[in-house]
Amino acid sequence: MVTNDTIGPRGRRSNRRFRERGGVSVYPATFEYFAPTSVDEALDTLERFGDEAKVLAGGQSLIPLMKLRIAAPSALVDIGRIDGLDALEERDGRLEIGALVTHADCEKSDLLRGRYGVLGATAPLVSDPIVRNRGTVCGSVAHADPQGDWGSALLALGAEVVAQGPDGERAIPLEDFCSGPFMTALEPAEIVTSIRTADPGPRAGGTYLKLERKVGDFATVGVAVHVSLDNGTIGRAGIALTGVGPTNVKATAAEDALAGAAPDDDAIAEAARLAAEAAQPLDDVRGSAEYKRNVVRVYTERGLRTAIAAAQS
């Protein structure tokens, strides 16, 4: 067991200085740290602490929250030493993304081109190389930030979250996973062991377009688009939006309008209009609601053209 109250003399001195000034330090509250080597061991620890414990993956969202004391778990269960959670592979035509697969792993993977193009386009747009080297795809989905890029990309492609808990394994469709900002269907003693995508079919393509104020920023607006062709028409389309709702938003009416349609200008324009209608943007420092809704329309049109061309090639 390691606790973080063993800070060195310099840390102690600066804490005293903070207190003398009436301020507070930003070090996390004390917690117990566990590094299990199997999923079962991790689940035992999570069960023991209940909702006082948190899974630690890449730490790129959790650690900043703990430093600010927005999160103060009593125990951290670091899954980084568990074998078998780092697979990024195709099984029976579906992609499996293990709990320890990082954004950088996805950025480098040849598998994420072509049929899984929406994922390949997303990876390099998540934050900066430092975050991408540590942060995980499953951690991003479990964190359920409405501005998270992976939530939209995976919603567009079609995916389910595979969770393991004391009662065994269950698969949760991604559209049922997030119930609100930073809220998921996950029980406190469950671990996301992987995310499994739908089979895109042989003729598929996709992309992710992200408007950001500067490189590495969270999305002002993000639009994920996936298209599977069936005999030249659109068999299935997936469209999901980032930063314009309390969760990643699945533009269902736009997807339905495209299913079975010829991939032409009229169908694309109508789907883009419906996607903009599905957005629930707010005015904020990143832009007005009206501006963001318009970006959704323009990016959906552009994304669909790119995805259709990729699927046809």
Ligand X SMILES: Cc1cc2nc3c(=O)[nH]c(=O)nc-3n(C[C@H](O)[C@H](O)[C@H](O)COP(=O)(O)OP(=O)(O)OC[C@H]3O[C@@H](n4cnc5c(N)ncnc54)[C@H](O)[C@@H]3O)c2cc1C
Cα-based torsion angle of the residue sequence 27, 55, 186, 223 in order, rounded to the nearest 10 degrees: 70
Query: How many CA atoms lie less than 13 Å away from 117 in the CB half-sphere?
Result: 25
Give the one residue of 97, 138, 240, 308 binding ligand X; rule: CB under 6 A. Answer: 138
Number of residues that bind ligand X (CB under 6 A): 29
d(Cα 225, Cα 207) in Å, to the nearest integer?
5
Q: For the CB of residue 259, give the shortest distance to ligand X in the complex, in Å.
A: 28
Handedness of CA 83, 89, 91, 97 (dihedral sign): positive
Which of these ranges, 86-94, 142-150, 264-272, 285-293, lies near ligand X under the rule CB under 6 A?
142-150
Site for ligand X in 53-72 (CB under 6 A): 54-62, 64
* Site string (204-243) toward ligand X, x via CB under 6 A: --------------x-------------------------
143 binds ligand X (CB under 6 A): yes
Pick the closer one to ligand X by CB: 186 or 278. 186
Beta carbons within 8 Å of 40's beta carbon, 6+ residues apart: none
Give the one residue of 39, 99, 258, 275 binding ligand X; rule: CB under 6 A. Answer: 99
d(Cα 56, Cα 75) in Å, to the nearest integer?
10
Q: Which residues bind ligand X (CB under 6 A)?
A: 54-62, 64, 79, 99, 126-127, 131, 135-136, 138-140, 142-143, 148-150, 186, 191-192, 218
